[in-house]
Amino acid sequence: MQKVVSPEHLFFEAPREQVFITGSEAVREAVRRANVDMAISYPITPQSESMHLVGDIFKEGYIREYFRGENEFAVMSAVAGASMGGVRVFTATGGPGTLRAFELFSTWSGARLPIVCAFMTRGVNSPLTIQPDTIEMSYLLDTGMIMLHAENAQDLYDYLLKAFPIAEQTEVHIPVGVFADGFFVTHTRENVKVAPVDIKLPPYNAYSAPVPVMDMENVPFRQMRDPFVMKSNYVSYAAHASWQQEVMAAAERARPSISSYLGGLLEVENADADILIITSGTAVSIAREAVAQAKQEGLNVGLVKIKCIRPFPTEEIRALTKNAKAVIVPEFNRVGWLAKEIKSIIPDNDKVVGAPRVFGGMTMPTQSILAEIRRCQA
């Protein structure tokens, strides 16, 4: 039997036990304490194990309903249906699975569904790859969902658990994607501090939704005189246009809670250095090591870890980069979506170095970041 406690107690006050677990196991531990009603799964490497483990805790009675869907498009549709029916849902995917389901993500936001989905990022075909790569995050940037990027298994556990109360606030009520770099996080073991197993989040309140719950327990109303898609209807156009802005505004309204639960949308070490490395996910760990090595060479380098990609910490980054001479953005993808984001928000963006970029599944050598630091110093 688990006792319901406040999110604040679960996150900040309850004693934490240190366990040596993989990222996939961290997903299980987060979901175990999240009071999830329903989880729906579909296998894809490197995500599968996490949803096996979620299946295990369903069998143990921590989740009320669980099944394997027939493909990711179907799974993301089924979690949408369940969420509209007023229950708390969880699912996970990655890489090709993300792309297969893609049409759903914008409709989750548009339908104001507080679905929490873990993305164990992986490269996309062709040629076939199962290796780590964060390119899918680039595609998801404008779907309207909140995007948190975990550096390690600890983050994955924390962000997943915190994603539920962030998503479910009435004034927010949009999906949260929690991203972790496949294999690097999912398949490696590390010390993770977790809350006791006998406490969990408060249950989801279906009527916290800012839109009608699809349960026929509230009055059905005629939604509109002419359906949105009817042609030549100014009201329809205006409704759609303003709704899109409202979804964006909902993400903006999530900033305070993301900030207080995660301790800011980003985290900084040595903010006053001339050279700043700004990155997210596991690239942060490698950059941290590069910064330490640079220090031994007498080079003063700062590190910014971005935890929240959507909404983007625009003002924070503007302020931090104001006096920096160079900004290095290492990334695990070909397109450099994070470098593009940063370039798009600061005035003197020729100082942004979109490198190193590692993709196709390789690891990122510390040396490759050090080389950029030395180049910027020269």
Query: Under the rule (CB under 8 A), what is the footprint of another protein?
Result: 37-38, 40, 64-65, 67, 69-71, 73-75, 77-87, 89, 103-104, 107, 111, 206, 212, 214-230
- ω before 203 within 30° of 0 (cis)? no
For another protein, give the closer residue by CB, 3 or 225: 225
Q: Which residues contact 135 (CB under 8 A, 6 or more apart)?
A: 121, 123, 124, 333, 334, 335, 337, 359
Shortest CB 223 distance to another protein, Å: 4
154-175 b/e (C-beta count within 10 Å ≥ 16 → b): bbbbbbbbbbbbbbbbeebbbb
For another protein, give the closer residue by CB, 219 or 378: 219
Shortest CB 201 distance to another protein, Å: 17
For another protein, give the closer residue by CB, 118 or 317: 118
User: Cβ of 214: how many Cβ atoms within 10 Å?
Assistant: 16
For another protein, give the closer residue by CB, 104 or 353: 104
Shortest CB 252 distance to another protein, Å: 25
Q: For residues 376 and 276, give the distance between their C-alpha atoms in angstroms, rounded to a whole number.
A: 10
For another protein, give the closer residue by CB, 191 or 218: 218
Shortest CB 148 distance to another protein, Å: 24
Please report, as a single letter, which amino acid is at residue 118. A
Tell me the residue length of the chain: 378
Shortest CB 63 distance to another protein, Å: 10
| Helical packing angle, 234-252 and 102-110, nearest 10° | 90
Structural contact between residues 31 and 60, judged by C-beta atoms closer than 8 angstroms: no
For another protein, give the closer residue by CB, 58 or 183: 58
Backbone angles phi, psi at 50, to 5 degrees: -60, -40
Q: For residues 86 and 55, give the distance between their C-alpha atoms in angstroms, rounded to a whole number.
A: 21
Shortest CB 230 distance to another protein, Å: 6
Please report, as a single letter, which amino acid is at residue 206. A
CA-nearest of 31, 44, 36, 22 to 120 is 44
For another protein, give the closer residue by CB, 221 or 234: 221
